[in-house]
Amino acid sequence: MTQSVVSDSAVDQADLREAMRHARVLVVGDVMLDRYWFGDVKRISPEAPVPVAHIRKTEERAGGAANVARNIAALGGKATLLGVVGQDEAGETLERLMHEDGVSTSLYRDPNIATTVKLRVLARQQQLLRIDFEESPGYEILASKLDDFCRMLPDHDVVILSDYGKGGLHHVFDMIAAARNAGKPVLIDPKGDDYSRYRGATLLTPNRSEFRQVAGEWRDEADLVAKAQSMREHLDLDALLVTRSEEGMTLFRKQGVAHMPTVAREVFDVSGAGDTVIGTLGLMLAAGQDLPDAMLWANRAAGIVVGKLGTAVCNPDELFV
């Protein structure tokens, strides 16, 4: 039977805020730099049937695993980011942005790759074009990162692995094993159609389309529950959280199923919402919340960030209202 979670956590908000300030979360995965070019379109190019954008403003924000860490820090938690960037201007910019956001970083510089960059061109708040620059990091760099990961585990309460399919989590199975052996919960935002590499994690957080890609279509809610619980058992997970866009999110555990409807008032931009969900979940677990209560806060935070443009964050004053 599916249980709907509709009420706030009974924990005192002041106590929770204090616990969040002491919570330590290690975020590992594919880091990237999101660049936004804002402009106006008033004509079509004479060279080709494409709009001409006159750029008037630019912005740079952390993306991928870096955005997960940024969300944790914005809520008052202690976030450490472990990842790989290129030895280039974009990598330096990303590290600067992380420090400005209060995130501790351990970013390896790989001279043989370019930092992953997503460049978006927008006019009148509508995206015209996205250009991606990305390369997979080298094996030796990734092996060194794994050694650092193991050394950093004792200083953190929860581990988040953010997989964007860019090659930064080549050793994900070893990371899961090391974290679980150290008694640290491991939360993973998965990617691709093979989840066997995430076996033994504490929690996976696929969105609806990602889950469908691996589990296949479902006929009804009962079929969805059966597929989710089967995946959870097969992968030896403590829990599986499927985020379902306008349908909210559903948590599958051995103890049963809990569902929470969406709280978004107005959806403006869903990019980065998954980062907010897993970042808030990890922070709340590190602060002593149980999974259903952590899901409540993650759902609320996601409802806030989708009302903002681009990869955005939620702050405590917005969350605790």
Q: Which residues are catalytic?
A: 275
Between CA 161 and CA 172 the distance in angstroms is 8
Between CA 178 and CA 188 the distance in angstroms is 14
The answer to whether 210 and 189 are in contact (CB under 8 A) is no
Bridge-based pairing of strands 31-44 and 117-123 is parallel
Kind plus residue range of the DSSP H or E element containing 159: strand 158-162
* Residue 163: both structure tokens together: 């997989």
Between CA 277 and CA 262 the distance in angstroms is 12
Between CA 233 and CA 280 the distance in angstroms is 25
Cβ partners under 8 Å of residue 8, min gap 6: 296
